[in-house]
Amino acid sequence: MGKIENQFAMQDPTTQYPQPEFEKQPQSAPGLAREMRPKPDHGETSYKGFGRLAGRRALITGADSGIGRAVAIAFAREGADVALSYLPSEGADASEVVSLIEKEGRKAIPLPGNISDEAFCVNLINDAAMQLGGLDILVNVAGKQTAVEDIADLSTEQFEATFRTNVFALFWLCKAALPHMPAGGTIINTTSIQSYQPSPMLLDYASTKAAITAFTHSLAKQVVGKGIRVNAVAPGPIWTPLQPSGGQPQDKIPPFGSEVPMKRPGQPAELAPIYVVLASQESSFVTGEVYGVTGGNHLS
């Protein structure tokens, strides 16, 4: 079964979206959603908003595709203006997101660049706040994942690049964003089931996700007195360009997602509502939490 037109229609979640096996489909990193088969569902036709983020101003990293794209679409349909961070090579996907946001009558600010650079992160926050007229929500989604089966083959260069993209950037962005954020502002990070159940071939990636989990718990306690909440979402296997562009070996793509109790990968659209709730005032008593969206595997 393919994507659904009504996010509220009751149906069997195990068959709601495409199930393995999939085609092998190698891409060069960071990959494009438009080249995936089947194409991921980011909520382009299914997500319906209710104004829960009316007037809010959000910066989302990795907003061109995958989870970040789904969050950007959902936020716009909930009434938020959105600044989008992505790599310049991902511009084709990002332009589609800009069009979808503008179709909702919201402001879309494309801000391409590489978040593994500290100076870019600082400028990214300042540019987003300036062009949006402030900053209420920071969503950290962008990440680097490259599977390596043996530590002997894991280079220092890759190990460092993964940490710079996944952890250092998170630190730089949060540090730069907090002075702009009013009481009621929210930061939402993206950790992973890998923080709790690490795969052998994702040694560096899993380590960064464990760091993000701890970072979220610690920062939440530090800034709660300012009225700012910090939470995280922990996805399981999700059908995004991260997977066929090196996040998984190609022989792992056909059965991708079959190992979870639901026997399929999640779609980006299935995560967006969690980010919406954590960004909205509905979750006003929630901070320092990690929400799992894993298809049945436990965060333990």
In a domain, 4, yes or no: no
CA atoms within 13 A on the CB side of 277: 14
- The list of the chain residues with pLDDT below 70 reads 1-7
pTM attached to this predicted model: 0.95
Question: Residue 105 is encoded by which pair of tokens?
Answer: 């009558």
Q: What is the predicted pLDDT for the residue at 229?
A: 98
Closest CA to 300 of 180, 183, 179, 193: 193
> What is the predicted pLDDT for the residue at 3?
47
**Considering only CA atoms, which of 209, 211, 223, 214 is closest in space to residue 175?**
223
Question: Is 205 annotated in the active site?
Answer: yes
pLDDT of residue 9: 80
C-alpha distances (whole Å) from 171 to each of 90, 168, 176, 243, 271 are 23, 5, 9, 25, 23
| Pairing assessment for the beta strands 108-112 and 57-61 based on DSSP bridges | unpaired
CATH of the domain at 267: 3.40.50.720
What pLDDT does residue 91 have? 94
Domain that residue 189 falls in: 48-293
Position 214 in a domain = yes
Q: Find the catalytic residue in 47, 205, 275, 291.
A: 205
Q: Is residue 70 part of a domain?
A: yes
Q: What share of the chain is helix, strand, coil (3-state, %, to 5)?
A: 40, 15, 45
Asked if residue 216 is part of any domain, the answer here is yes
Work out the burial of residue 101: count CB atoms within 10 Å of its CB; fewer than 13 is exposed, 13-18 middle, 19 or more buried. Answer: buried
Extract the runs of DSSP E, i.e. beta strands, from the chain.
Answer: 57-61, 81-86, 108-112, 137-140, 186-190, 229-235, 290-293
pLDDT at 185: 98
Instruction: Write the pLDDT tens digit of every residue in 114-138.
Output: 999 999 999 999 999 999 999 999 9
Within a domain: 32 = no
Residue 23 in domain: no
Distance CA 5, CA 60 (A): 25
Q: What gap in Å lies between CA 166 and CA 207, rounded to an integer?
A: 10
Residue 38 lies in a domain: no
What is the model's pLDDT at position 2?
A: 46
- Total domains, the chain: 1
Chain mean position to CA 24? 23
